[in-house]
Amino acid sequence: MRKILLTGFAPFGAEKTNPSWDAVQVLDGQMIDDARIISLQLPSEFDVCLQVLEDAMRAHQPEVVLSLGQAGGRADITVERVAININDARIPDNIGQQPIDTPVAEHGPVGYFSSLPIKAIVQALRQHGIPASVSHTAGTYVCNHVFYGLMHLLPNHPSVKRAGFVHVPYTPDQAAAHPGAASMAVTTMTAAIRLMLETTLHTAHDIHVSGGITH
């Protein structure tokens, strides 16, 4: 049986919910073509999140691993291009740890690129009326830590053909506490995740369109 491992995070910081998990949770057991989705919640903790992820990769031997987290304040779904080998926590994690300028992996490379078809995913989401863009930073907190750690683990998990990370914005009820912030309903996020997975299974080579930015 082909399997897809889908992860979201526990709530962190001042938020009581984390839509990355709420959107992922409902997909547990659903099929994309002949691949079954396994949904997993990761703790928002530097120390243990990668162990929980690797245990699940070992147990399920997935073909695709898609991890999601929340980036409140971003305007749309952001498909991450690159993970970097640094932890620099702006706030403590859920067990009070706040690493500053430590590597995710001692002696690891500076960064890893996503192996998802990130441009094709953004295009598919936009074609279905869901706002999305390529992001060139997953931050330096727990999400980047998991994204980098995931890519670093891949040589030990040959079942995994594609892996990457996506951030979701606030939900409307979260945004109500952050006036002016953009938001997206969890049901839209869930539909977006199904589209991302379909696009990943159906796209052998990413499309050649610009997802770049100028500053």
Binding site for ligand PCA (CB under 6 A): 9, 12, 18, 20, 44, 69-71, 139, 141-143
Q: What is the C-alpha R_g of the chain? A: 16
Tell the smallest beta-carbon distance from residue 192 to ligand PCA (Å): 16
CB closer to ligand PCA, 123 vs 135: 135
- Least separation in angstroms between CB 58 and ligand PCA: 23
Q: Of the residues 45, 63, 145, 167, which is catalytic?
A: 167
Q: Which residue number, 18 or 114, has a Cβ lying nearer to ligand PCA?
A: 18
- Give me the catalytic one of 45, 49, 63, 80: 80
Q: Least distance to ligand PCA from the beta carbon of 107, Å?
A: 23
CB of 202 to ligand PCA, least distance (A): 27
Which residues, 6+ apart, have CB-to-CB distance to 212 below 8 Å? 134
Tokens representing residue 134 in the block: 């390529």
143 is catalytic: yes
- Residue 185 has φ and ψ, to the nearest 5°, of -70, 145
The closest alpha carbon to 190, from 80, 33, 60, 30, belongs to 30
Instruction: Please state whether beta strands 64-70 and 77-80 pair in parallel, antiparallel, or not at all (unpaired).
Output: unpaired
**Which C-beta is closer to ligand PCA: that of 71 or that of 104?**
71
- What size, in residues, is the chain? 215
Q: How far apart are CA 144 and CA 139, in angstroms?
A: 6
* Tokens 């890893």, located at residue: 112
Judged by beta carbon, residue 91 or residue 204, the one nearer ligand PCA is: 91
Write down the least CB distance from residue 72 to ligand PCA, Å.
8
80 tagged catalytic: yes
Rounded CA-CA distance 122/105 in Å is: 29
User: In this complex, which beta carbon is closest to ligand PCA, that of residue 20 or of residue 200?
Assistant: 20
Out of 45, 49, 63, 143, which one is annotated catalytic? 143
Alpha helices for the chain (secondary structure H): 19-25, 46-60, 118-127, 142-153, 172-175, 186-202
Q: Which residues form the catalytic set?
A: 80, 143, 167
